[in-house]
Chain A
Amino acid sequence: MIAASIELNGVNKSFALNGERIDALRSIDLFARPGEFVCVVGASGCGKSTLLRLILGLDHADAGRVSIDGKPVTAPGPDRGIVFQDHRLFPWLTVSENIALALHASDWDASERRRRVREHIDLVGLGRFGDALPDQISGGMAQRAAIARALVAGPKVLLLDEPLGALDALTRHYLQDELLRVWQAERPTVIMVTHDIDEAVYLGDRVIVMSSRPGRIKKSIDIDLERPRRRDDLRLAALRNEILSLFDWSAIAQQ
């Protein structure tokens, strides 16, 4: 798989809510190079999910350009996969069927599809649970199935919207490492939204801090640490504190 670059130029997006205009995103410029792991942090409501929806093509910018490898985004496509905060598996389809759904429009024949589905079930460590229904597996396992679904079509871009937010700390740490392993195996360009700053500095090549109302990019911080990283690395703690200091606490308190 060849990763793709993601580029946003002067992107604005606003919503009308009860007659009031909400600037979800204003003047967003962002470039992610192929294969980069970018984390996005920011207060609730600052437009992080909106940013992902624009890159995925579920929503359209009011102004500006969103492009993948220089080509403007118009609609969702198999070159981009997404994992939402909740797993969003179809409850009446098995884990394999859910994952295979992402291949419904692919050129691969049936046997190659089956092979890819199996391969990705193994990749996220769900080997024995392909035939289980989503309510027969744990939340962490379901989230892993959702990650497999996002990856199975071999997307060049992987969008993650707080994918581990609902999980307990142990499972979260475990899946963070799984995510790194998967990323290193498949090398997509990753944009991961998270509210966990430790997670952001541990995983990302770069952390983007957003401010709210209007949603803007406040700062982009490179995490120039060699991999594999250690969670107890003091440099991570320093970076976390630097990022925390960028948050506008008064604005958050007002919400």
Chain B
Amino acid sequence: MSVGVVGGPHHFKWRSYLWLVASTIVLTIVIAEISVSQVSLAVPGRGLIGEIAAATLDTLRRLLAGLFVGITAGSLLGTAMGAVPILDRLLSPPIHALRQVPLFGWIPLIGLWAGLGEPSKVTFVALAVAYVMVLSAHEAIRSISPRLTEVSRALGLDPLTKLRVLVIPSVTPALLAGVRIALAAGWSAVVGAEILMAAAPGLGALIWGAREVGRPEIVVAGSVVVGVLGALSNAGLRSFEQRVLHRYYR
């Protein structure tokens, strides 16, 4: 099996991420210190760090909801398209056509359908995630070797055994690679949604709001948090891939 799609999970190093995290924490504290000493707090009774932490939680909640919906829906659709050729022929052209709409071009449409509140933000994230997952799941299903499928039939494997020895090992690498890309897409979607859709608590809104009231330290700290969380989640998934699934990458 090819390693190409996943970019070689074997080369991943935790140490470099450790450095990233440590330096970021220091940076954030320094920025926070400066801001606390120089500028009045945006929310009385709550420090900059508290503010960012609260915004981070809101963003994470939204991201997780969008990931859950998007990964589920995208994987199901992609699997169905990979397994049923007629579905593939029916759905592939419209899906690729819709992809021509830039991701953020969906915001006005979603706004029309679902307003600009919480559900439409989650929908937007789910959309970004789902598109990636449709492609990955499709690819994953197609990476099941017809020869091994034939062997499974020749051995008369029952569906559960077939799932265990054929389907799961075959689809997991492509699927996990998809999840990592989806995660990155989800991050930019959630932050973008918080900036472009009606104000809501969250990192994107915090950063954007800070820019408008002239508080660069919040902009910087917020952006750093977004970057670090993105890098960390990617790192977490990679190490998961590496630990649990290295057997399937061959």
Stretch from A60-68, A101-109, A247-255 forming part of the interface with B: A101-109
If A86-B147, A92-B169, A104-B161 touch, whether A75 touches B156 (CB-CB below 8 Å) is yes
- Are A101 and B165 in contact, CB atoms less than 8 angstroms apart? yes
A82 to B151, CA, bound (A): 9
Q: Which residue of A lies closest to B172 (CB)?
A: A92
Contacts of A149 in B (CB 8 A): 155
The reply to whether the CB of B61 lies closer than 8 angstroms to some CB of chain A is no
A69 interfacial by beta-carbon distance below 8 Å: no
A219 touches B (CB below 8 Å): no
Main secondary structure of the interface of B (DSSP, over half): helix
Which of B147, B157, B161, B166 contacts A84 (CB under 8 A)? B147
Q: How distant is the Cα of A29 from the Cα of B174 in the complex, in angstroms? A: 47
A58 and B250 contacting across the interface, CB-CB below 8 Å: no
Chain B positions within 8 Å of A77 at CB level: 156
Q: Who on chain B is nearest to A134 by CB?
A: B250
B166 and A104 form a contact (CB under 8 A): no
User: Given A84-B147, A86-B147, A93 and B165 touching (CB < 8 A)?
Assistant: yes
DSSP majority for the A interface?
loop
Contact partners of B156 in chain A: CB under 8 A: 75-78, 105
CB distance from A81 to the nearest CB of B (A): 8
Q: A58-B150, A84-B147, A133-B250 are in contact. Are A90 and B157 (CB under 8 A)?
A: no
**Contact A90-B161, Cβ < 8 Å, known A78-B156, A105-B156, A135-B250:** no
- The residues in A between 79 and 121 inclusive whose CB is less than 8 angstroms from any CB of B are 82, 84, 86, 88, 90-93, 101-102, 104-105
Chain A positions within 8 Å of B, measured between CB atoms, are 56, 58, 75-78, 82, 84, 86, 88, 90-93, 101-102, 104-105, 133, 135, 149
Return 15 A-B CB contacts under 8 Å, by A number: A58-B150, A58-B154, A76-B154, A77-B156, A88-B151, A90-B151, A90-B165, A90-B166, A91-B250, A93-B165, A102-B155, A104-B155, A104-B157, A104-B161, A135-B250
